[in-house]
Structure 1
């Protein structure tokens, strides 16, 4: 399926998106979030900012973060399984960084499985650097998490123009 990436829409996640988000969450993660977890983020967490990436009304991916003071913490980011490998993760991460800056963040952090080199390479392209380990962070197999931090460009984020 060919896709015009200029037609991608980024918008705030709504409760109506949750069924589509749960399907992607279950494809992407061994310990997926529940409907209640997403509902709680959307309704009760004043720090939460969740974005949906859409093409022709179809949800292709999503990302979420908490923006607290000048720091943004990515909670989850995922692309639909059949849409991976097309650079959409890059675009979504770029959009999350832009959104974080809009809400006043100067730095961004996330955790990633130490074994997930694909994600780590993506994050490094966007300025993330290793900053430590959270031992046995993942409940499904007690895998360690790599903590990564990036300084956010307050002026104009890298990555936007060259594609």
Structure 2
């Protein structure tokens, strides 16, 4: 049986995280952004999900006072549809609550219905639209949020 682990992202994880990033996003972050998030952003918290020590996904969030903003979440395409994103998102919510957060928000592409359904499972609701949010194709983003307490 495969061993599933979720833990804090470390600098040594960036190479594998980049494989997830490049496979998941049309406008991927680069290694330097992850390095800065892990070493210079006091509000940033990043976690990876791995199976048998292979990183198959990650989630990032910024915690500022009692607000949490999910910066990104991704699962390698070959591992999608197995509820691993759901496990990772649940873990991130638990971490946010443990850090004293009372509200969580994120942006998601208007066309990403699968992700929107996942977020709705955790009580997130649409709160507005950010026009032309995504730089690769100027797609709008749905802002979703939830009160955590």
TM-score scaled to structure 2, two decimals? 0.97
Instruction: Tell me what 1:51 maps to.
Output: 47
Counterpart selection for 2:27 from 31, 34, 43? 31
Distance in 2 of aligned mates of 1:141 and 1:52? 28
Number of residue-to-residue matches in the alignment: 149
Instruction: Tell me what 2:103 maps to.
Output: 107
Residue 88 (structure 2) pairs with residue 92 (structure 1): yes
Deviation track 1:15-57 (CA, whole Å, cap 9, x = no partner) reads: 1100111111111100000000000000000000000111211
Q: CA RMSD in A?
A: 1.0
SS in 2 for 1:86: coil
TM-score scaled to structure 1, two decimals? 0.89
Distance in 2 of aligned mates of 1:41 and 1:101? 20
Deviation at 1:81, TM superposition (A): 1.2
Distance in 2 of aligned mates of 1:26 and 1:58? 16
Distance in 2 of aligned mates of 1:120 and 1:59? 24
Instruction: Tell me what 2:140 maps to.
Output: 144
Distance in 2 of aligned mates of 1:148 and 1:8? 28
Structure 2 runs not aligned, ≥5 long? none
Counterpart selection for 1:117 from 95, 98, 113? 113
Structure 1 runs not aligned, ≥5 long? 154-163
